[in-house]
Structure 1
Amino acid sequence: IGGFEGNAQTLRLLTRLEPKVIRADGTPAGLNLTRASLDAACKYPWTAPDAPVIHGHRTSKFGAYEDDLPVFNWLRQGAPAGRSCLEAQVMDLADDISYSVHDVEDAIVAGHFQLKWMDNPDHRARVVGYTQQWYLPHSDPAAVDAALARLEATDVWVREADGSRKAMAALKNMTSQLIGRFCLSALETTRGIYGTDPLTRYAAEMVVPEDTVTEIAVMKGLATTYVMTSVHRQPIYERQREVLSSLVQQIAAAGDRHLEPMFAADWRQADDDDTRLRVVIDQVASLTDASALALHERVVGPVPALW
Structure 2
Amino acid sequence: MLVPGPKVRGRPGGIESLPMDSDGYGDAARERIVEEPPKRVDAPIRTAFERDRARVVHAAASRRLAAKTQVLGPQSDDFVRNRLTHSLEVAQVARDLSRALRSQPDIAETAALAHDMGHPPFGHNGESVLAELGASCGGFEGNAQTLRLLTRLEAKTVDATGASVGLNLTRATLDACTKYPWPRAAAGPDGKFGVYVDDRPVFDWMRRGAAEGRRCVEAQIMDLADDVAYSVHDVEDGVVAGQIDLTLIDPAAVWETVREWYLPDVGDDVLDATLTGMRAVGSWPTAPYDGSRRSLAALKNVTSDLIGRFCGAVQHATFAASDGPFVRYAADLVVPEQTRLEIAVLKGIAAHYVMHTDQRAALMERQRELLAELVAGLLDRGPDALDRPFADDWRVAADDAARLRVVLDQVASLTDASAVARWEQR
CA–CA distance in 2 between the matches of 1:212 and 1:266? 45
Partner of 1:13: 149
> Gaps (5+ residues) in structure 1?
53-57, 300-307
Query: What CA deviation, in whole Å up to 9, does each residue of 1:189-248 have, x standing for no partner?
Result: 1011113x3211111111011001000000100000011111221010011111111111
Structure-1 residue corresponding to 2:317 = 189
TM-superposed deviation, 1:181: 0.7
Q: Does 1:287 align with 2:417?
A: no
Greater relative CO (CA pairs within 8 A, separation 6+): 2
The one-letter amino acid paired with 1:258 is A
The SS at the match of 1:274 is: helix
Aligned residue identity for 2:184: A
TM-score between both structures, scaled by the size of structure 2: 0.67
Instruction: Give 2:235's match in structure 1, choosing from 75, 96, 104.
Output: 104
SS in 2 for 1:254: helix
Instruction: Give the drift of 1:141.
Output: 2.4
Q: What RMSD, in angstroms, separates the aligned Cα atoms of the two structures?
A: 1.0
Matched, 1:84 2:212: no
Query: Does residue 276 of structure 1 match 2:403?
Result: yes
Quote how far apart the aligned CAs of 1:255 are: 1.2
Deviation at 1:83, TM superposition (A): 1.1
- Report sequence identity in percent: 55
Partner of 2:247: 116
The structural deviation recorded for 1:24 is 1.7
User: 3-state SS of the aligned residue for 1:162?
Assistant: coil
Listed as ranges, the gaps of 5+ residues in structure 2 are 1-136
Could you tell me whether the CA contact under 8 Å between 1:86 and 1:206 is conserved in 2?
yes
In the TM superposition, residue 269 of structure 1 has moved relative to its aligned partner by 1.4
Q: Work out whether residues 17 and 30 of structure 1, in 8 Å CA contact, stay in contact via their aligned partners in 2.
A: yes
Is residue 132–residue 141 contact of structure 1 (8 Å, CA) maintained in 2? no
Q: Which residue of 2 aligns with 1:253?
A: 380
The answer (yes or no) to whether the contact 2:235–2:244 under 8 Å persists in 1 is no
Match of 1:66 in 2: 197
**1:25-40 equivalent positions in 2, closer than 5 A:** 25-40=161-176
Q: In 2, distance between residues paired with 1:37 and 1:101?
A: 26
In the alignment, the residues of structure 2 paired with residue 125 and residue 272 of structure 1 have an alpha-carbon distance, to the nearest angstrom, of 52
Q: Deviations over 1:96-134 (max 9, x none)?
A: 00010000000000011201112xxxx211111211221
Write the letter of the residue equivalent to 2:203.
Answer: F
The structural deviation recorded for 1:275 is: 0.8
Which digits, 9 at most, give the CA deviation of each residue in 1:83-103, with x for residues without a partner? 111111111000000010000
CA drift at 1:280? 0.6
Bigger drift between 43-52 and 99-108 goes to 43-52
- In the alignment, the residues of structure 1 paired with residue 165 and residue 415 of structure 2 have an alpha-carbon distance, to the nearest angstrom, of 24
Q: Distance in 2 between matches of 1:291 and 1:173?
A: 36
SS of the equivalent of 1:255 reads helix
Q: Shift in Å at residue 59 of structure 1? A: 3.2
Under a length normalisation based on structure 1, what TM-score does the superposition of the two structures give? 0.92
Q: Aligned equivalents of 2:351 and 2:164: distance in 1?
A: 39
- Asked if the contact 2:244/2:350 (under 8 Å) is kept, the reply is no
Task: Give, in angstroms, the shift of residue 140 of structure 1.
Answer: 2.6
Which residue number corresponds to residue 213 of structure 1? 340
**Is 1:227 the equivalent of 2:379?**
no
